[in-house]
Structure 1
Amino acid sequence: MASKPVTVIVRIVAKPGMEAQVKRELMNLLAPTRSEKGCMNYDMHQADDDDSRFLFHENWVCEEDLRRHLEAPHIRHWITLAETLLAKPMELTLWHKVDY
């Protein structure tokens, strides 16, 4: 069975007072991630009603590419920073498109 594309949704909540720093650090992930093998899109969003909430919408060619991405140095660095910058752990969910 061939690998299927995978969609990733990541929800992030910054600690009070850390919103600008979290946004800067997350923006640093955009260019290197978008150049990774298998990255179809890597889009960052910030809630209109709450500057502390961020959401990533990502699409990867396959789960293997996603796994490789999660081990990339820039992502490992972010995960280390997140421990002190975030109000709660990141919420990451995987999704697959339903074809009908």
Structure 2
Amino acid sequence: MVYVIATLTVKPEMRAELIAAAREAISATRKEEGCVAYDLHESVDDSNKLVFVEEWDSADCLPVHSKSDHMRAFGRIAVKCFSAPVKVEIITPEKVEKR
């Protein structure tokens, strides 16, 4: 089992566009082999801080996911919506990796 926590800070004026694109990516991702859970959450303190919480069968699923057509499409939209670098943590039972 592997978990991914991706924290995004979005420009307020781009928030709706990012969430619309995320909904499409989430729907497609949940159908991917190895995806156990894939959700987007909003910070209770800052509505422009969004957090993807992902659960995968194994780390081997992640490269396939990141290269999928729906994630590439999401990335093209998302990159113009960020107001800060994305923070991604990959969490396994053994360790936490930061990218």
Q: What is the 5 A alignment of 1:1-100?
A: 5-98=1-94
CA contact (8 A) 2:18 2:77 kept: no
CA distance in 1 between partners of 2:46 and 2:13 (Å): 12
Give the RMSD, CA atoms, in angstroms. 1.2
Three-state SS of the structure 2 residue aligned to 1:56 is strand
* Displacement after TM superposition at 1:82 (Å): 2.0
Q: Distance in 1 between matches of 2:84 and 2:54?
A: 21
Percentage identity across aligned positions?
28
In 2, the alpha carbon distance for the partners of 1:55 and 1:41 equals 13
Matches of 2:28 and 2:50, distance apart in 1: 19
* Pair member with larger Rg: 1
Partners of 2:79 and 2:25 lie apart in 1 by: 16
- Which sections of structure 2, spanning at least 5 residues, go unmatched? 95-99
- What TM-score, normalized to structure 1? 0.86
Letter of the 1:48 counterpart: V
Separation in 1, partners of 2:72, 2:89: 18
Letter aligned with residue 45 of structure 1: H
